[in-house]
Amino acid sequence: MSLSSANRTLQLVVRLLDAKNATEPLLDFGPQKPAIPLGRSAQPLPREAPERQGIPSRHIAGFLNALEQDPTLRMHSVLVIRNGRLLCKAAFGAQNPDLPKMTFSACKSVTALAVGLLMDDGLLKPEDRLVDLFPQDCGPVSRRLMKDLTVESLLTMRTGNQFNEASSMTEADWVRGFFLSPGLSDPGGKFQYNSLNTYILAVLVHRLTGQTLTEFLTQRLFAPMGIADFYWETSPEGVEKGGWGLYMRPEDLAKLGQLVMDDGQWNGRQLISQSFLAQATKTQVQTPETYGDYNYGWQIWVGRQENSFLFNGMLGQNVLGFRDSGIILVSHAGNSETFQQSNYFRLASHYFGGSFPDSLPRDPLAERELGRTLAQLSDCSAPLPAREAFAKFAGKRFITRDPKAAASGLLPLTLQAVENSYSRGLQAITIGGTRAMPEIFYEERDHLHHLKAGTKAPCYQSLNFHGNVFQVAAQARFTHNEEEQPVLRIQVDFLETPCTRIIKLIWTPQGLLVRQEETPNVDYLVETNLLAVSNPASKALLATLLGSADPDFLTWKMSQVFSPTMEFQEES
């Protein structure tokens, strides 16, 4: 990225880590995520008992139980498909697998399908040079530096471009930022993951067809396949982000995985060429082994050891296809992983990487056992809390003068950054309602959030954050901490995303302590280095802006905003 872009990115990091002031965005993108309507699918996948497709119901139950019992995983939903038949749809906890879900980078593979259609139409070739496709965006320096970069360089993540996801949060013109980036690292050489490569592919779709990526895919793939009720966020330039920003139902993602599995055919109709998918799903470039057990094709991951393909998004959003058995697994989660590092892939391979017969005899007992497993996974029921526990909090308004409240909000900070929708600061909390359904009035500086949190079962509702509308499930329970202080714990699952907000209201004789946490949490951010900087110049600038670039200091700064503990006083 350019020096000015790097400086702006670091400025945003500093603002994010300022626990005493509300984060001011460097750019006003406006609302990114509207409320997504949800109707009935025009083409739901056929449902069948697992044995009809040769998979024992107990085998699937064992897989789901293994996922649930793994302490390193936070699964949200899993679909099991074979030969285009949906065998199992599992929800974990309060999650709803029928809602459109944030896909993160799994949608890069969807953008790749649009590029494949352009190639099928003769509008684009892998060897086409970027400087020829973007003549008005490439100055003399760019033309010289990027003369050997091609469409395939974008598809295989080998442009070496330094204008990346962080840069896009601080720049309004992403195409210009991409082509004016002077920091090319090994252009056309080794694999270097960068979502802006996929964004440039989305721009190509728009420029070559005169349609948006959404319009083009709807006409060519989504409408014929009955895919609806999705939404793709756009850049400040009005182009779909391509490499992220797509919300889609898991079952519709499964259909796209089935399209790849069936070499481009859907209901007997060839929607995309077999020749493109053959190239897209074979190893084109080796990837670092630390990423996981997959190489890279054309925006689709390819198994190193197994005959498999993968649409992969951070935190556990996956479409995993085992070609030899025709099995597809679609998963959504809030795992601490950027690529394929979690135990999910080990368990998926263990349970589904082998061979299965075409069919098995019906096993009603095993089917009922699987049904009980599914019910247990989604069971959030809890007993009604005691009256005296609720009485400690009910009917009271607590106000704060704690400086850390100025940067705190109900929306998880991860989503605030992704959606460019920052809290203006927390001012007061009021608890009302009943012990079966506490109501939390969460007063931020510019908005009052009315949150209902069931104690016996989650309460489902929508919340609006500056025009960004999220479906949530909120559940409360009364407990005590290690000091025997009464605690009202509220878990808010943002159902369309991998994120969860946890609020702990701790009653003390002096007032209320409010402790906020979220997943993904600080540990994940530290482990993945998402907010760190690698080059000496950036470290020096960050040290100047923050006072230090020491890793322990940065971890402490991050914990102040991602996991704050704030003091509130009861209003007299």
The residue among 197, 102, 212, 208 whose CA lies nearest residue 150 is 197
Q: Average pLDDT in the 404-416 region?
A: 95
The dihedral through the CA atoms of 146, 148, 150, 152 has a sign that is negative
Q: Is the pLDDT of residue 535 over 60?
A: no
The per-residue pLDDT of the chain, averaged, comes to: 93
Instruction: Return the pLDDT at 537.
Output: 53
Q: Is the pLDDT of residue 129 over 70?
A: yes
User: Amino acid identity, residue 382?
Assistant: A
How would residue 1 be classed by pLDDT, with cut points 50, 70 and 90?
very low
Q: Is the pLDDT of residue 138 over 70?
A: yes
Q: Is the pLDDT of residue 419 over 70?
A: yes
Q: Average pLDDT in the 186-214 region?
A: 94
Instruction: Evaluate if pTM is beyond 0.75.
Output: yes
- Domain(s) labelled CATH 3.40.710.10 in the chain stretch across 50-93+100-352
Three-state SS sequence of 504-537: EEEEECCEEEEEEEEECCHHHHHHHCCCCCCCHH
Instruction: Return the pLDDT at 29.
Output: 78
Structure tokens at 404: 């850390």
- Residues 50-93+100-352, CATH architecture: 3-Layer(aba) Sandwich (3.40)
Name residue, tokens 């990091």. 13
Question: Which residues are CB-neighbours of 548 under 8 A, at least 6 positions away?
Answer: 554
How would residue 165 be classed by pLDDT, with cut points 50, 70 and 90?
confident
Instruction: Find residue 471's DSSP bridge partners.
Output: 462
Instruction: Return the pLDDT at 554.
Output: 79
pLDDT digits (tens, 9 = 90+) for 548-562: 667 788 788 889 999
**Helix then strand then coil, % of the chain, to nearest 5:** 35, 25, 45
pLDDT digits (tens, 9 = 90+) for 249-285: 999 999 999 999 999 999 999 999 999 999 999 999 9
Contact 469, 424 (CB under 8 A): no
- Domain(s) labelled CATH 2.40.128.20 in the chain stretch across 382-570
Q: Please classify residue 254 by burial: count the beta carbons closer than 10 Å to its beta carbon, then call 0-12 exposed, 13-18 middle and 19+ buried.
A: buried
Instruction: Return the pLDDT at 543.
Output: 62
Question: Which residues are CB-neighbours of 552 under 8 A, at least 6 positions away?
Answer: none
Instruction: Return the pLDDT at 27.
Output: 85
Q: Please classify residue 136 by burial: count the beta carbons closer than 10 Å to its beta carbon, then call 0-12 exposed, 13-18 middle and 19+ buried.
A: exposed
What CATH number labels 382-570?
A: 2.40.128.20
Question: Which residues are CB-neighbours of 288 under 8 A, at least 6 positions away?
Answer: 191
pLDDT digits (tens, 9 = 90+) for 335-366: 999 999 999 999 999 999 999 999 999 999 99
Q: What is the largest CA-CA distance in the chain?
A: 74
Instruction: Return the pLDDT at 541.
Output: 58
Instruction: Return the pLDDT at 526.
Output: 72
What's the rounded Cα separation, in Å, for the pair 379 and 92? 8
Instruction: Return the pLDDT at 185.
Output: 67
Contact 528, 279 (CB under 8 A): no
pLDDT digits (tens, 9 = 90+) for 22-81: 999 888 878 899 999 887 788 999 999 999 999 999 999 999 999 999 999 999 999 999
Alpha-carbon torsion angle 46, 48, 52, 55, nearest 10: 110
What's the rounded Cα separation, in Å, for the pair 6 and 163? 9
